[in-house]
Amino acid sequence: MRLRGVRRYHWARDVDEALSLLAAYQGKGALLAGGVDLARSPRTDLEGLIDITGIGLTYLRAEAAGLRLGATTTLAEVLGHPQAEGYAGGILRETLRQVAYPALRHMATLGGAVVSAHPWADIPTLLVALGAEVRYRSAEGEKRAPLEDLYGTDFRRVFRESVLLEVVLPAWAGAFAFEKIGRNAGDIALLNVCAGLGLVEGRIAWARVAVGGRPERGERLPWLEGMLVGERPSPALWERAAEEVRARLEVGSDRRASAEWRREVAGVLVRRALLRAAGKAALCASTSS
């Protein structure tokens, strides 16, 4: 039986109350939003749960600079939101449709996925590729940081002492595509790829590629992005990208898949994601001109 030590449940009214409760528990309290990861948590030391679904962090707003997604917005809410639909070539829908099952997507929140940051998860790969920034507040005040940078630090300690407020996604002139292989529908990723690019006068103006479930968490491949910028999209280019990934990607083995398979297939998935992203980007470019 999990979470056996929990004695109290708090319904936080605002961010400050959530933070002060969290501080009061001195590490033995946890924030509760969707509860998906908490329900799986092996922690027996947790004594208090602090529900943050009523502190105004459930929203999705489209702005000129991009999208702002409140931390307690569920995956299903993002999936069903009309303003998420067209973002960056429809990448949010394309990805979230492949995350877990409908019932779980109605529980799981975007913030939960960011904080848990499982190595096999799809959302970290997606958000890192998209250049997401996160806003969070701790006793020391409010901060904003690119998620990618945060993941490079001791982010678990940061999130233990903070309330994640929102995820900010920049606007991209171009499009992204997502590729994933799981064992069956609703599975975690044996491997996932999120790739995006923008086209200016037929050449790649920018490129973003992240690979996750290697089995490590999704990370960008700057060496690959650099190789792509300035080139014209072509099957040969995508094949070169695939070869580059096969040659340079850091992969490992776990019980779900071997390093050999991951190395081989990561190249394939990168190639496919780039091909589809380029197709979508070309469509964006032609409709905006």
Partner 1 sequence: MAVILGRARAVVGQNVPKVDGIPLATGQPKFTLDLDFPGALVGKILYSPHAHAEILAIDTSEAERVPGVACILHYGNVPRVPYTTAGQGWPEPSPYDTVLFDRKVRYVGDRVAAVAAETEEAALEALQKIRVEYRILPAVFTIDEALAPGAPIIHDEPDAQGIYDPQRNIAAAVDIPIGDLARGFAESDVIVEETCEIPYSQHCALEPHCVLAYFDEDGRLVLRTSTQVPFHVRRIVSRVLGIPLSRIRVVKPRIGGGFGSKQEVILEPVAAALALRTGRPVRMALTREEVLVSTRTRHPYRVRVKLGAKRDGTLHALEMEALGNTGAYGAHAGTVLYNVGSKSLPLYNKARHLRFHGKAVYTNLPVAGAYRGYGATQAFFALEVAMDELAEKLGMDPLELRLKNHIREGESSPIFEKLGEGREGKAQIIRSCKLAEALRIGAERIGWYEKRRNPRREGPWAYGVGLACAMQGSGITGIDMAAATLLMNEDGSFRLLVGATDLGTGSDTVLAQIAAEALGVPVEKVLVYSSDTDFTPFDTGAYASSTTYVSGNAVLRAAEEVKRQILEVAAEMLEEPVEGLVLERERVVSRRTGRSVSLAEVGHRATYVANQRQIGATASFACPESPPPFAAFFCEVAVDTETGVVRVERFVVVADCGQPIHPKLAEGQLEGAVVQGIGHALYEELLFSERGSCVNRSFFDYRIPTALDVPEIEAILVPSEEPTGPFGAKSIAEVGINGPLPAISNAIYHAVGVRLTRAPFTPERVLAALKAKGR
Are the CB atoms for 94 and 177 separated by under 8 Å? yes
Q: Determine the interface stretch with partner 1 among 123-131, 162-170, 177-185, 210-218 (rule: CB under 8 A).
A: 177-185
Q: How far is the CB of 228 from partner 1 (least distance, A)?
A: 20
- Closest separation in Å from C-beta 67 to partner 1: 28
Minimum distance between the CB of residue 102 and partner 1, rounded to whole angstroms? 9
Please list the residues that pair with 210 across neighbouring strands: 194, 220
Pick between residue 163 and residue 266 the one whose CB is nearest to partner 1: 266
CB of 182 to partner 1, least distance (A): 8
**The dihedral of CA 114, 115, 116, 118: what is its sign?**
positive
Q: Could you give phi then psi for residue 41, rounded to 5 degrees? A: -65, 135
Quick one: 1 or 64, whose CB is closer to partner 1? 1
Q: Count residues binding partner 1 (CB under 8 A).
A: 21
Residues 235-274 interacting with partner 1 (rule: CB under 8 A) = 255-258, 261, 264-265, 268-269
The CA distance from 207 to 199, in Å, is 9
| Tokens, residue 240 | 């070169």
Read off the tokens for 124: 């970290």
Q: What are phi and psi of 88, to 5 degrees?
A: 50, 45
For position 143 contacting partner 1 by CB under 8 A, the verdict is: no
Q: Which two tokens stand for residue 229?
A: 């910028």
Is residue 286 classed as helix, strand or coil in its secondary structure?
helix
Return the residue of 161, 187, 216, 244 that touches partner 1, per CB under 8 A: 187
Q: How far apart are CA 57 and CA 13, in angstroms?
A: 11
Residue 99 binds partner 1 (CB under 8 A):
no
CA gyration radius for the chain? 19
Q: Does 185 bind partner 1 (CB under 8 A)?
A: yes
The interface region with partner 1, picked from 60-68, 79-87, 136-144, 187-195 by CB under 8 A, is 187-195
Q: Name the site residues for partner 1 (rule: CB under 8 A).
A: 1, 4, 40, 101, 181, 183-188, 190, 255-258, 261, 264-265, 268-269
